[in-house]
């Protein structure tokens, strides 16, 4: 089985290995969508653009030359496609403020943020169903524990316990990231 970090993965794809291509797609699709969203400000558009990058990669796999790594190629290609799209649509006046700020942020930081966002979402999706529901209501809808308890017809103590479980599991899943980066990321999304 070929790992997406394997430096020879593109050689397998060039040879028509659909399984290698599928692993590459599964490994990078989500983080590339979040990365594109930083430029476009539209998740549906970001998904379409990233899907097209993968379609083009497969169709043109025999002609495509990847000088560095597949990962850097994918991120650079998505960045270029976003910029091309914005130019083509002549939306320079309508470029989201976040995209203008992103042009001042080093490319590597954007990639790391997109990957972290993807890891956080994966971690949230791995939570037990009730635990995930409570976590999302609290962190992303801004409901207080009492409001969640009332909405779900459960006790406040249950909400507290489930939030404790969620935070513990997420801390374990994201332990290799610095806690400071995680806090900055989570609180920057609440504005």
Q: With a cut of 60, say whether residue 33 has pLDDT above it.
A: yes
pLDDT of residue 51: 92
CATH 1.10.3720.10 fits 1-104, yes or no: no
Q: Average pLDDT for residues 102-111, to the nearest whole number? A: 57
Q: Average pLDDT for residues 75-80, to the nearest whole number? A: 90
pLDDT of residue 4: 56
Distance CA 67, CA 132 (A): 41
Per-chain mean pLDDT for the chain: 77
pTM for the model: 0.51
99 vs 63, residue with greater confidence: 63
pLDDT of residue 190: 40
pLDDT of residue 35: 87
For the chain, give every domain's residue range: 1-104, 126-191
pLDDT of residue 98: 52
pLDDT of residue 50: 92
* Orientation of helix 129-139 relative to helix 107-125, angle to 10°: 130
63 vs 103, residue with greater confidence: 63
Helix H, strand E, coil C: the string for the chain is CCCCCCCCHHHHHHCCCHHHHHHHHHHHHHHHHHHHHHHHCCHHHHHHHHHHHHHHHHHCCCCCCCCCCHHHHHHHHHHHHHHHHHHHCCCHHHCCHHHHHHCCCCHHHHHHHHHHHHHHHHHHHCCCHHHHHHHHHHHCCCCCHHHHHHHHCCCHHHHHHHHHHHHHHHHHHCCCCCHHHHHHHHHHCCC
Choose the most confident range, by mean pLDDT, from 41-50, 138-147, 180-189. 41-50
Q: Average pLDDT for residues 162-189, to the nearest whole number? A: 66
Identify the band that residue 5 occupies on the pLDDT scale cut at 50, 70 and 90: low
Question: May I ask the CATH class of domain 126-191?
Answer: mainly alpha
């Amino acid at each position: 089985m070929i790992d997406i970090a394997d430096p020879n993965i593109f050689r397998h794809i060039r040879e028509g290995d659909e399984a290698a291509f599928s692993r590459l797609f599964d490994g990078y699709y989500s983080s590339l969508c979040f990365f594109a969203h930083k430029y476009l400000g539209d998740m549906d558009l970001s998904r379409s653009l990233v899907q097209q990058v993968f379609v083009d990669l497969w169709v043109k796999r025999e002609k495509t030359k990847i000088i560095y790594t597949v990962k850097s190629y994918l991120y650079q290609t998505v960045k270029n496609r976003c910029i091309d799209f914005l130019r083509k649509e002549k939306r320079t006046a309508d470029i989201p403020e976040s995209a203008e700020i992103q042009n001042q942020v080093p490319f590597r930081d954007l990639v790391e943020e997109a990957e972290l966002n993807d890891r956080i979402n994966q971690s949230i999706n791995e939570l037990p169903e009730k635990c995930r529901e409570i976590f999302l209501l609290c962190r992303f809808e801004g409901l207080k524990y009492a409001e969640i308890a009332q909405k779900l017809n459960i006790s406040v103590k249950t909400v507290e316990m489930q939030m404790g479980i969620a935070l513990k599991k997420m801390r374990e899943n994201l332990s290799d990231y610095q806690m400071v980066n995680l806090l900055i990321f989570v609180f920057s999304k609440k504005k």
